[in-house]
Structure 1
Amino acid sequence: MRSRPRRGPVKRGRTARPRRGGEDAGRAAQSLYVAHEKIYPREVQGRYASLRWLAVWLLLGLYYLLPWMSWDGRQAVLFDLPARKFYIFGLTFWPQDFFFMAWLLIMAALMLFFVTAIAGRLWCGYACPQTVWTEAFLWMERITEGRHGRRRKLDEGPWTLEKLARKGTKQVLWIGFSLWTGFTFVAYFTPTLELGHKVLTFSTGAWETFWILFYGFATYGNAGFLREQVCKYMCPYARFQSAMFDKDTLIISYDARRGEPRGPRKMDLDRQTSPLGDCIDCHLCVQVCPTGIDIREGLQIECIACAACVDVCNGVMDRMHYPRGLVRYSTHHAMEEQRPSRVWRARVLIYGALLLALLIGFGAAVANRSTLIVDVIRDRNTLYRERAGGLIENVYTLTFVNKTEVERQYRIAAHGIDGLVVDLDRPQPLVSGPGQVLRVPLRLQAPSSALASDIVEVTLTVEASGEVPARIERRAPFVGPGAR
């Protein structure tokens, strides 16, 4: 993949050899660096611009509205870290379910590979948080400072009352939106109404305050100032995307066969007899690009596949009465080799099959996951105790985790040794409340004459009754006198 040559008088990739004195050496050193040039992307309308704004509204709407939604009398999506419970609508996840998070991350990575193999950097252009929040910040910049040309003149002009008012209004909107973004982020971990009350009464905790400010500052910096620099220099995806591309991957492409040689012309020029191609060299594709590249130079790592250049070029083709598609989504095979692209190829089928298998497995695992966790820990301080009547006693600790939102009752039984007796500090059935973690000491007693060996494996059976019945078996060692 080619990198776009930087604009400006300073050349890159070649350093002049100093001939004499420090002046030449200083000039050579300066040629290695180019000051950042702010990009003022031109406004664009079209099919892909509408799709991009639809994605912005949907994704930002989900992010900001989910913490305000309720489900069964609680927040619909809440990661309650102090209680070690994650609520996602009707599902409750516990720390023991953490492997589901790893499963989701694997599926997300595989989904990225699958989509990239088919449609290139579709994620970057429409769904990446950097793209989504940058679009929102650009919208606030437009309504306060004007269109792209006016914003450029405002930045280059002297400070006046109008400039101060416009810049100040923009900063107020940016800072307010950033703080609201940080508040919403923390609201996924602290109930929204509770967090709102704390903020209004200035009683938020240290960590809540830190994360509101940190996430707000990160949003403000990335979407307000860094913008395309995050995509060009900080995001690793642009660097390894070429490993996921092939000649049948959809990319934003300029049809050089049709567009070259480029050049300006009158609208009434006969296209059939003109020596020029369809590109009128208007540079609008560069002006609308959020990363400031020229798509006519070929695929570049800075391209985020937002298709803004496609929309604006189609508009120019309409005005010139030329066919659309001079810049379009296409593939290397279609553009360079003039042959049909293959969507369903080996890597896509493999990615799709693995992703489908993981999705089915994940759904089945979540649907069939146990609503009860039982852990058995043997007392390691004492191997065994000798009781009257020739009984041998072992002590254990039973831990029950009720993963439902209803009360449950437990009955415990044990077998594996003749005459094995279960002794608890409280009568059965044991009762635990919704989401409660219950720890109970358990003593197992067995006649010494019934022990076939020094260590015998016994089976504990826990039966949970209530609205969500469950039955779980756990094995544990029973130690006798010969284990000394």
Structure 2
Amino acid sequence: MSNANPSPQPIKFYKSHEKVYPRETKGYFQNLRNITLLLLLGIYYITPWITWNGRQAILFDLPARKFHIFGLTMWPQDFFFLTLLLIMAGLSLFFFTALAGRLWCGYACPQTVWTDAFIWMERLVEGSRAKQIKLTKSPWTPEKIRKRVLKQFLWVTFALWTGFTFVGYFSPIKELAVELWTFEASAWQVFWVLFYSFATYGNAGFLREQVCQYMCPYARFQSAMFDKDTLIIAYDEKRGEPRMKGKKRNENENKAGDCIDCGLCVQVCPTGIDIRNGLQYECIACAACIDVCNEVMDSVGKPRNLVQYTTESNTEGRKTNFLRPRILIYAGLLGVLAIGFLIALFMRSTVQMDIIRDRNALYKVVSGNLVENTYTLKVMNKGNLDQRYQLVVEGLPDAKIKVLNDRVIAAGEIANVTAQVTVPKDKLVAMSQTVHLKLSELEGDSRDTIVEETRFFGPGK
């Protein structure tokens, strides 16, 4: 008799990834997702080809430091507009998450949208979920090679077009297309096209739900924004349990819950979870389980919404309160920021001026009784037209201004303009006085005006 102990078995802390084959489903929420997918992809791929006033409608021209958004041209000096947009985007995420859970993840997240597109191409070539699983397990045959090659061709082509379109937002897309076709594109353009193509191919083609589960931080901190009145997708355990199927269900029909344990809610889930196990961070709220469960309930003659959008308060028998403080605060802040953003955008001037005083001398006395101050003006033409300006001095009696290098300033140009302001000595009441320089556009319809304050120095009384 041996006293030898059996060799210890290693404990595995990592489970190898198993590919998820989501089953195709139909229903109300799937139709919403399809409409959203087509709308977002359409906007993404079509927008760079739209022309506005002779140029690309949306173009973020980094080398020229110009950002064209239809009729609006933004400059690095307008960075605060981007800051406001980012703050509003963050608040919107908080608002919609607190109100309706992971609405962004299930319907509008780029990872979700492009993954759905890749899954659609996969189904087009390889067939339904069952056929895909069977094809994966089958040995390599000419038919399997043909399908796999065709799928990869569609994926790679779609990914390359996605990368090309993305770069087309930063480099004129029509010129980029010609340069890539004629092999005249720069190395950086080629690099970024391939980089974003690879990112699309990898994230949407292979990683898929792993991006949501392991890489996206939103899945980890979303629970901090949930409360008992947040909309979630949940399984009605009281109604569904005990779940039974087949012969056992027929024998215990009076005791069985409404869930027939068909497992379709698991098969349609793009992250491979079982919604019957409760709310899980992997759930992206795509509502596919709701659609397929409703189909099953219709087929067995049971009421719908065994799996449904609900709240924790509702499941506990309490009334859901949608107008709670955090929702009102988020909505109020969003409203204030949106109004402020629109007002600032509407009042945005197409001219900017910075005043730099002459550092060599505070002032000069010229022609006996005239005191002269010299200023260097950095004038930026933020409009789309070449512009000529008029400069006027205000705030000092009998003050006159002379521009030494008056000229037309091109659209987008920052020009140094030298201006000399002279004031009769007897009109000065102090050694330092406030003066305003008013710069007005002379071309175009808007004729924006900007006034900047500076100091005028003199000998005083």
| Same structural fold, with TM-score higher than 0.5 when normalized by the shorter chain | yes
CA contact (8 A) 1:418 1:450 kept: yes
Could you tell me how far 1:417 is from its partner in structure 2? 4.3
- More divergent stretch after superposition (223-232 vs 92-101): 92-101
The answer (yes or no) to whether the contact 2:435–2:453 under 8 Å persists in 1 is yes
| Structure 1 match to 2:403 | 424
SS at match of 2:257: coil
Please point out which of 384, 391, 406 is paired with 1:412. Answer: 391
Gaps of at least 5 residues in structure 1 are: 1-19
Q: TM-score, normalised by structure 1?
A: 0.88
Does residue 469 of the first structure (1) align with residue 450 of the second (2)? no
The letter of the residue matching 2:446 is V
In structure 1, the partner of 2:33 is: 52
- In structure 2, the gaps of 5 or more residues are none
Q: Distance in 2 between the 1:58 and 1:34 partners? A: 37
**8 Å contact from structure 2 (residues 249, 256) kept in 1:** no
Task: Give, in angstroms, the shift of residue 55 of structure 1.
Answer: 0.8
The residue correspondences of 1:65-464 to structure 2 (distance < 5 A) are: 65-265=46-246, 274-335=254-315, 337-385=316-364, 387-389=366-368, 391-426=370-405, 430-447=407-424, 450-464=427-441
CA distance in 2 between partners of 1:60 and 1:441 (Å): 51
Distance in 2, Cα, partners of 1:149 & 1:308? 18
| 8 Å contact from structure 2 (residues 405, 418) kept in 1 | no
How much is the aligned-residue C-alpha RMSD, in angstroms?
Answer: 2.3
Give the 3 Å change call, closer, same or farther, for CA 444–168 of structure 1 in structure 2: same
Are the counterparts in 2 of residues 267 and 320 from structure 1 also a CA contact under 8 Å?
Answer: no
SS at match of 1:27: coil
Give aligned pairs, total: 456
What letter matches 1:432 in structure 2? I
Deviation at 1:21, TM superposition (A): 8.7
Amino acid at match of 1:262: R
- Inter-CA distance 206–390: structure 2 relative to 1 (3 Å threshold): farther
| 1:27 lines up with 2:10 in the alignment | yes
Deviates more, 1:449-458 or 1:438-447: 449-458
What amino acid is aligned across from residue 317 of structure 2 in structure 1?
Q
Q: Scaled by the length of structure 2, what TM-score is found?
A: 0.93
Aligned-pair identity (%)? 54
Q: 1:373 to 1:151 in 2, by over 3 A?
A: same
- On the 8 A contact 2:84/2:341 being kept in 1, the answer is yes
> Would the aligned equivalents of 2:381 and 2:409 in 1 still touch at CA under 8 Å?
yes
Q: 1:392 to 1:163 in 2, by over 3 A?
A: same
TM-superposed CA distance for 1:140, in Å, is 1.1
What is the CA–CA distance in structure 1 between the aligned matches of 2:282 and 2:5, rounded to whole Å?
A: 38
AA matched with 2:415:
L
Q: Distance in 1 between matches of 2:366 and 2:163?
A: 62
Specify the code of the residue in structure 2 equivalent to 1:431.
V
Question: Which stretch has the larger CA shift, 363-372 or 381-390?
Answer: 381-390
SS of the equivalent of 2:408 reads strand
In the alignment, the residues of structure 2 paired with residue 373 and residue 319 of structure 1 have an alpha-carbon distance, to the nearest angstrom, of 68
| Contact 1:402/1:436, CA 8 A, preserved across alignment | yes
